[in-house]
């Protein structure tokens, strides 16, 4: 109790600051109220011994000290050598040198003579092991049960920030960018450290700090020194810093006449620039590239291939062991093409043509982070090219910061999908983790949902998506349920009943969202605002930037025919997959309209007609938000009141919008189906015109 007055000096006083504002994420380290647990922990943790003097090992010990200290109320000294008496934690770096990255990240937690020993071949492994132990203790579990070992299945576990230099975030819904570019490098926000802690705690070891629609600024010395200040913070938590690059930088920045990747001057420019980058950030990770996509420059501007572009950068990065992460998110503004096929069409034939330090980063689905997409057909079709996975954490198509959607089921659905590339069991996960094709490089990226909001993610429950991404990038065999439960325990409450109720909401949340947003394989009703669905939207500078391009509603029916009678995109999959999905009878209902144009009155496997099934989904989806509300209300007594009120407000909004979005689709589709909404459902309380007016509010300047 001696430290109490001191601590009190630092309590940020304000009328509202007593609340849990979500800032601490899953690293709350709440004081343990159960005396039995606290006593047991107190007995075991009287020191933290660490002989390694690296920043990373030091931060591992510091985190243990702070975390266990807060949970037990006891100050635990950090020492260099094991004391003669007492029990404690030992962080033990094995003597091995020249270990692989995966080995350096792996750890073993054991009990030796009453001490908890965390062993690793690398200091990053000590850090990850320390966070694993803290995770264990935060769940108030017996110390003996902490004995474990773990190694990451993916080497590069990364966040991609779509943050712009002016502080805005493309598709960001949680305030402005965390990075204060105009203040860097002189002012280093302490929050950068908490960002690094949070990432390290779930195994994330890389971050791309700027938008893939990249400003060339980031390659100037002025900005590289700013990036270096961030890298200086991140490095101490085992996180490498990467940059998105502007492919035309040799022209815009270097003053060259071309950015042709085969031009010797251009290659020289990149080599020199890369050298400069490494002179400023010695452990720089590499470049992320969006090229020839949505107006961004790229090698095709000069008649070159993606491989030509990537290999030029790879050549520049190779001397420094940097990597090129080249995105496969491409599609042409061709009214006759099927955007679904674009990535495969452009990339599959390039397999084997990329340099060794290139990763091709593929979005989980063929289009663009829809609430439900079949896996991208590229997975499995580039055996000689490491394919990285790109998931989206920020809720561009998932209700922004006002809808509660737990994304682990989306990630798992893709990772567990069977490509049949080498027969049954050739899951997407086995491709991405390198096991199927022996990729020398493996990568999983999440487009970050973080921002300057105090809660980091806007919707406090969206923290779980950041968490789940990190945990799955480390070990994709974890279940969505196990991660949800773990996250809720660390973040919200350790009481079993509310944890179960919250886990229940989380696990059902994605299907509920899909039902009121894009059931049965509909997609992309967002066009102008990205805040309001416009399924009627039929005009744009590109056909694939309208809504009607995707749903293809007409008087006969609904859906995009991607079978042999249509775009034949299904042919990009292996026969086992094609066969199952090409037949509307066997195609899983959730994917139905992705692949088939179904007539309004066709009976589905559910026993309902398409129209009735749509009504059923839209209505039960919206209605299920009421269930979410009730479920959330039931846990009120276990949750911080401010946090509870915050989420209650968001669920109110979610329900309002679910009805709005349902009405938008139903009333619009009804103009084609000419069928009534079944009498068991209340008719929309507004007209299609009124819905459109409501949408237009969000499209106004």
In the bound complex, what is the minimum distance in angstroms from residue 660's beta carbon to a copy of itself? 10
Q: Is 396 a catalytic residue?
A: yes
Q: Is 601 a residue that touches a copy of itself (CB under 8 A)?
A: no
Nearer residue to a copy of itself within complex by CB, 340 or 513: 513
- Residues linked to residue 221 through DSSP beta bridges, in sequence order: none
In the bound complex, what is the minimum distance in angstroms from residue 664's beta carbon to a copy of itself? 14
Q: Which of 19, 99, 101, 102 binds a copy of itself (CB under 8 A)?
A: 19
Other CB atoms within 10 A of residue 15 CB: 6
Nearer residue to a copy of itself within complex by CB, 182 or 352: 182
Q: Tell me the window of 21-29, 34-42, 87-95, 377-385 that interacts with a copy of itself (CB under 8 A).
A: 21-29
The span from the CA of 433 to the CA of 431, in Å, is: 6
* 572 φ, ψ (degrees, to nearest 5): -75, -15
Measured at the CA of 346, the angle between CA 344 and CA 349, to 5 degrees, comes to 80
Annotated catalytic residue within 20, 260, 390, 396 = 396
Nearer residue to a copy of itself within complex by CB, 566 or 694: 694
The kind and range of the H/E element at 470 are: helix 463-474
Q: Is 187 a residue that touches a copy of itself (CB under 8 A)?
A: yes
Q: Cα 500 to chain center, whole Å?
A: 24
Nearer residue to a copy of itself within complex by CB, 131 or 594: 131
Contact (CB, 8 A) for 237 and 192: no
Q: Tell me the window of 4-12, 266-274, 297-305, 596-604 that interacts with a copy of itself (CB under 8 A).
A: 4-12
Q: Cα 601 to chain center, whole Å?
A: 38
State the first-to-last Cα distance of the chain, in angstroms, to the nearest integer: 57
3-state secondary structure 528-546: CCCCCECCCCCCCCCHHHC
In the bound complex, what is the minimum distance in angstroms from residue 552's beta carbon to a copy of itself? 30
Q: Is 486 a catalytic residue?
A: no
Which CA distances in Å does 81 have to 62, 90, 93, 111, 256? 16, 9, 13, 17, 58
Nearer residue to a copy of itself within complex by CB, 7 or 36: 7
In the bound complex, what is the minimum distance in angstroms from residue 29's beta carbon to a copy of itself? 5
Footprint on residues 450-509 left by a copy of itself (CB under 8 A): 451-454, 458
Other CB atoms within 10 A of residue 276 CB: 14
Footprint on residues 200-239 left by a copy of itself (CB under 8 A): 215-217, 220, 222-223
The span from the CA of 587 to the CA of 273, in Å, is: 50
Annotated catalytic residue within 55, 368, 475, 511 = 368
Q: Tell me the window of 97-105, 139-147, 267-275, 643-651 that interacts with a copy of itself (CB under 8 A).
A: 643-651
Q: Is 690 a catalytic residue?
A: no
Closest CA to 198 of 477, 403, 487: 487
Nearer residue to a copy of itself within complex by CB, 253 or 318: 253
Footprint on residues 402-461 left by a copy of itself (CB under 8 A): 402, 451-454, 458
Q: Which of 58, 62, 171, 686 binds a copy of itself (CB under 8 A)?
A: 62
Footprint on residues 528-567 left by a copy of itself (CB under 8 A): 531
The DSSP output letter for 683 is P
In the bound complex, what is the minimum distance in angstroms from residue 227's beta carbon to a copy of itself? 13
In the bound complex, what is the minimum distance in angstroms from residue 172's beta carbon to a copy of itself? 9
In the bound complex, what is the minimum distance in angstroms from residue 181's beta carbon to a copy of itself? 10
Residue 650: half-sphere exposure toward Cβ, Cα within 13 Å: 20
Q: Is 42 a residue that touches a copy of itself (CB under 8 A)?
A: no
Q: Is 595 a residue that touches a copy of itself (CB under 8 A)?
A: no
- Alpha-helical runs (H) found in 85-190: 101-105, 123-138
Footprint on residues 121-180 left by a copy of itself (CB under 8 A): 165, 167-168, 173, 175-176, 180
Q: Is 212 helix (H, G, I), strand (E, B) or coil?
A: coil
Contact (CB, 8 A) for 201 and 192: no
Closest CA to 475 of 81, 18, 128, 34: 128
The span from the CA of 25 to the CA of 40, in Å, is: 26
Q: Is 694 a residue that touches a copy of itself (CB under 8 A)?
A: yes
Q: Is 66 a residue that touches a copy of itself (CB under 8 A)?
A: yes
Q: Provide the annotated active-site residues.
A: 294, 368, 396
């Amino acid at each position: 109790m001696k430290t109490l007055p001191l601590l009190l000096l630092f309590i940020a006083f304000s009328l509202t600051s007593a609340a849990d504002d979500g800032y601490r994420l899953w690293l709350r380290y709440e004081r343990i109220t159960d005396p039995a647990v606290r006593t047991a922990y107190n007995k075991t943790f009287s020191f933290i011994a660490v002989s390694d003097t690296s920043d990373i090992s030091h931060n591992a010990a510091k985190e243990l000290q702070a975390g266990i200290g807060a949970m037990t109320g006891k100050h635990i000294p950090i020492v260099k050598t094991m004391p003669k008496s007492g029990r404690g934690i030992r962080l033990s770096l094995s003597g091995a040198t020249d270990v692989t990255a995966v080995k350096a990240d792996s750890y073993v937690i054991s009990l030796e003579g009453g001490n908890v020993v965390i062993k690793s071949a690398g200091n990053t492994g000590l850090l990850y092991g320390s966070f694993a132990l803290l995770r264990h203790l935060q769940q108030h579990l017996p110390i003996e049960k902490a004995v474990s070992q773990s190694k990451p299945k993916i080497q590069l576990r990364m966040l991609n920030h779509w943050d712009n230099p002016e502080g805005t975030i493309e598709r960001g819904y949680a305030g402005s960018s965390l990075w204060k570019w105009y203040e860097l490098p002189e002012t280093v926000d302490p929050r950068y450290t908490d960002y690094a802690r949070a990432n390290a705690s779930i195994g994330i070891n890389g971050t791309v700090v700027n938008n893939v629609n990249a400003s060339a600024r980031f390659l100037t010395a002025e900005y590289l020194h700013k990036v270096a200040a961030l890298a200086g913070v991140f490095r101490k938590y085992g996180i490498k810093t990467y940059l998105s690059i502007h492919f035309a930088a040799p022209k815009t920045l270097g003053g060259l006449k071309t950015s042709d990747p085969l031009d010797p001057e251009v290659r020289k420019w990149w080599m020199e620039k890369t050298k400069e980058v490494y002179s400023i950030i010695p452990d720089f990770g590499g470049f992320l590239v969006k090229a020839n996509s949505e107006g961004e420059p790229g090698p095709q501007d000069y008649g070159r291939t993606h491989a030509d572009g990537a290999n030029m950068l790879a050549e520049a990065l190779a001397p420094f062991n940097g990597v090129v992460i080249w995105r496969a998110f491409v599609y042409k503004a061709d009214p006759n093409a099927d955007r679904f096929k674009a990535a495969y069409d452009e990339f599959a034939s390039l397999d084997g043509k990329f340099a060794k330090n290139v990763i091709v980063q593929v979005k989980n689905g063929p289009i663009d982070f829809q609430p439900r997409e079949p896996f991208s057909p590229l997975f499995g079709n580039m055996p000689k090219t490491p394919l990285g996975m790109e998931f989206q954490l920020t809720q561009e198509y998932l209700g922004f910061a006002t809808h509660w959607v737990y994304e682990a089921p989306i990630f798992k659905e893709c990772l567990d999908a069977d490509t049949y590339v080498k027969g049954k069991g050739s899951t997407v996960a086995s491709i991405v983790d390198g096991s199927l094709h022996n990729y020398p490089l493996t990568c999983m990226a999440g487009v970050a949902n973080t921002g300057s909001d105090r809660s980091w993610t806007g919707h406090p429950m969206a923290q779980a998506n950041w968490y789940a991404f990190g945990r799955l990038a480390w070990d994709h065999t974890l279940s969505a349920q196990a991660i949800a439960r773990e996250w809720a325990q660390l973040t919200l409450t350790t009481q079993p009943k509310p944890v179960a109720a919250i886990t229940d909401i989380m696990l059902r949340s994605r299907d509920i969202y899909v039902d009121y947003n894009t059931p049965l394989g509909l997609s992309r009703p967002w066009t102008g605002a990205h805040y309001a669905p416009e399924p009627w939207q039929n005009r744009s500078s590109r056909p694939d930037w309208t809504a009607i391009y995707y749903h293809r509603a007409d008087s006969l029916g609904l859906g995009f025919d991607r079978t042999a009678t249509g775009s034949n995109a299904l042919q990009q999959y292996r026969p086992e997959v094609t066969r199952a999905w090409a037949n509307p009878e066997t195609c899983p209902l959730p994917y139905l309209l992705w692949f088939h144009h179904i007539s309004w009155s066709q009976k589905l496997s559910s026993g309902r007609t398409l129209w009735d099934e749509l009504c059923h989904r839209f209505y039960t989806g919206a209605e299920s938000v009421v269930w979410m509300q009730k479920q959330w209300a039931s846990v009120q007594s276990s949750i911080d009141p401010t946090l509870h009120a915050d989420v209650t407000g968001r669920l109110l909004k979610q329900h309002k919008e679910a009805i709005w979005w349902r009405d938008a689709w139903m009333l619009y589709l009804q103009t084609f189906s000419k069928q009534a909404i079944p009498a068991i459902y209340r008719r929309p309380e507004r007209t299609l015109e009124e819905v459109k007016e409501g949408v237009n509010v969000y499209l106004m300047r």
